[in-house]
Structure 1
């Protein structure tokens, strides 16, 4: 038995309070109480309560972050902008990364277009940007485009399309990976238009594509729908063209 748990027993000898709190599914609360009430037993009680409340708020924030990360379904959830390898050779500049790390682009509902050949780190960077948004308290949803189209079709077949669209509309940031990769038919383009209709106006969209923006119109069918999507997504967006470099 730990020293702190022994002290807990001395306060209430018939019960293992720390163990009971952990059994209630509150390990963070148990740790806060164990660390504050016993290790700092000489603190004025008011200060103990303040520290306890701050500890519980921190625990709540941590749980909230974990829930947001789980819901986002990032393929690289550990990616963080602080670890970005910036250089002129890569096309990724530290001042740009530092500015994006502030998260203001989400508040301003700005979009980000990441382009570059395979192996340049597009997905990693998209996930790092998404991680920044999540840690700033925003809601993120990640899809690669083929999976998004499949999810839409599946929801439609199971009569849950409204719920799926509501899930998308609650996102502050929508990340679309593999943008421009697989051939689209007319129905696919229509789905993308409906998916992007809300976030292009009221949220931020991050796309990662191996092809430059000049390729997107052809990929989207070359008509007015594709032209509208390219114009609304590319107009004023942050553009990052990654290259393979040291």
Structure 2
């Protein structure tokens, strides 16, 4: 088969990365030193890596993470109470497989959202469905869904996400908002993983709910047996260099 025809056929089979790698092999004299199996293995690897990168990119787009926080950019040197061993264990994603919860609390600017997004980024790399949303926006979307008679569909969509990141928990909730939050968290309990960030200490969460019964039910599912990361210290924004404004690094 002629070289151009081989490349065209690979492209037609949607093996674009393999086609490009094959074309590079034709102009690389060192390839003559490799066996057929070795050269073919390189072609397959090129296609595999290409597809994995596309899949990860799609997962990241769907996640809508607030910050482009990669796991490699997490700063463990800042004195804020972050346990490196615990966080790196969380980055493996095992807790997502067992449908557990991570609670990130601490004062404004200590990096809660960055760390939550870093965990979300790691989950995307592991080909898991991730979604980030602020609590106020989540409740707003559910209100609109109720008005548009799509409430059951909205609840189902949120329940199906492998990892839901609920950012900025802390405003008092009325009875309807508390019920909506209960519906989301109850659907996910022992079925999917959740991250919650808050400036409010966990001990004060009960007081955010107008209905103590709903508060008890929600906290029973969220707090018990959750991984807790309780940060402290000054705002990192006071010491961040200009490059960190993009949200790609903590230091």
TM-score range (shorter-chain normalised) is 0.7 to 0.9
Distance 1:97 1:82, change over 3 A: farther
Asked whether the 8 Å contact 2:175–2:211 carries over to 1, the reply is no
Give the equivalent residue in structure 2 for 1:240. 229
How far does the alpha carbon of each residue in 1:98-135 deviate from its partner, in whole angstroms, 9 at most, with x for none? Answer: 22122211122221111011111111011011111111
How far does the alpha carbon of each residue in 1:170-210 deviate from its partner, in whole angstroms, 9 at most, with x for none? Answer: 21111100111x33211111110111112122111110000
Give the equivalent residue in structure 1 for 2:50. 59
Shift of 1:145: 0.4
Asked whether the 8 Å contact 2:101–2:193 carries over to 1, the reply is yes
How far does the alpha carbon of each residue in 1:69-111 deviate from its partner, in whole angstroms, 9 at most, with x for none? Answer: 111100113x133332225830102112222122211122221
How far does the alpha carbon of each residue in 1:42-70 deviate from its partner, in whole angstroms, 9 at most, with x for none? Answer: 24444333222222122111111111111
Distance 1:25 1:54, change over 3 A: closer
Q: 2:39 aligns with which of 40, 48, 58?
A: 48
Give the equivalent residue in structure 2 for 1:95. 85
Asked whether the 8 Å contact 1:184–1:220 carries over to 2, the reply is yes
Partner SS for 1:202: coil
Asked whether the 8 Å contact 1:176–1:206 carries over to 2, the reply is yes
Task: Name whichever of 148-157 and 109-118 sits farther off.
Answer: 148-157
Q: 1:221 aligns with which of 210, 215, 231?
A: 210
Structure 2 unmatched ranges of 5 or more: 237-251
Distance 1:228 1:36, change over 3 A: farther
| Pairs aligned (count) | 231
Higher relative contact order (CA 8 A, sep 6+): 2
Q: In structure 1, what is the Cα distance between the partners aligned to 2:53 and 2:156?
A: 25
Q: In structure 2, what is the Cα distance between the partners aligned to 1:35 and 1:184?
A: 60
Distance 1:59 1:159, change over 3 A: farther
Q: In structure 2, what is the Cα distance between the partners aligned to 1:163 and 1:35?
A: 48
Q: Is 1:120 aligned with 2:102?
A: no
Q: Is 1:150 aligned with 2:150?
A: no
Distance 1:147 1:11, change over 3 A: same
Q: In structure 2, what is the Cα distance between the partners aligned to 1:194 and 1:80?
A: 31
Which TM-score applies when normalising by structure 1? 0.83
Shift of 1:24: 10
Partner SS for 2:152: helix
Distance 1:88 1:11, change over 3 A: closer
Aligned alpha-carbon RMSD (Å): 2.6
Q: In structure 2, what is the Cα distance between the partners aligned to 1:240 and 1:219?
A: 20
